[in-house]
Amino acid sequence: MDHLLSLIPFDNSLSFLIYLLELAGAFLVFTFVTYWTHRIAHCWKPLWYLHEAHHSVPYKGEYEFSLLNLVGWYNDWRSTLDVWVTEVLPMAGLVLLWPATWPLAVLFYIDNVLSEGLTDHNPRINIPGLAMGKYHIEHHKDMSVNFDGYFRLWDKVFGTQRNVV
Ligand SMILES: [Zn+2]
Ligand SMILES: [Zn+2]
């Protein structure tokens, strides 16, 4: 733990502020990568084999949280591997390349625990700018739109956005 904390520049507020900006930048890059791993999962057969399982789950809009989500298991082995290949692997790569970004991995873990059963497929959630809830459910209705997993950003940039009201 001491080692992890020593990676964060607490010594003065300017270097800490710069560190926060770097974290935000690194997260933006991560959202770009996962946007594309998701898009590739829809057109490259080996990944589609895994991702198809996610699209086969009949999300009913209820709270479907499972304790297994805490250990990174999502419904079945194909859905689980889908998340591990398209999201966990890029995050692990980021932290390996740049260990000081480890707080992002903590946030990512928390988000992943909540996303499957509580936030991503929850029709009661529609927060402007965020991809969880209604926005992501639209992707389940039409698999050619709304690939973003975090912000409604790269869909807009790459012309795959269908906003929801
Ligand atoms: Zn998809
Ligand atoms: Zn989904």
Share of residues in the chain with pLDDT > 90 (%): 81
**Cα(78) to centroid(ligand 2), Å:** 13
Domain ranges in the chain? 23-57+64-157
Residue-wise pLDDT for 64-101, tens only, equals 788 998 999 988 999 999 999 999 999 999 999 999 99
Residue-wise pLDDT for 40-68, tens only, equals 999 999 999 999 999 998 888 777 788 99
Residue-wise pLDDT for 99-115, tens only, equals 999 999 999 999 999 98
Considering every ligand atom shown, identify the ligand nearest to the alpha carbon of residue 57 and give its number.
Answer: 2
Beta carbons within 8 Å of 27's beta carbon, 6+ residues apart: 104, 150
Considering every ligand atom shown, identify the ligand nearest to the alpha carbon of residue 64 and give its number.
Answer: 2
**Cα(1) to centroid(ligand 2), Å:** 34
pTM: 0.93
Q: Distance between terminal CA atoms of the chain?
A: 43
Q: Report H helices in the chain.
A: 2-6, 13-43, 45-56, 77-83, 89-97, 102-114, 134-141, 154-157
d(CA 125, CA 163): 13
At residue 159, the 3 state secondary structure works out as coil
**Cα(71) to centroid(ligand 1), Å:** 22
Residue pair 137/148 in contact (Cβ under 8 Å)? The answer is: no
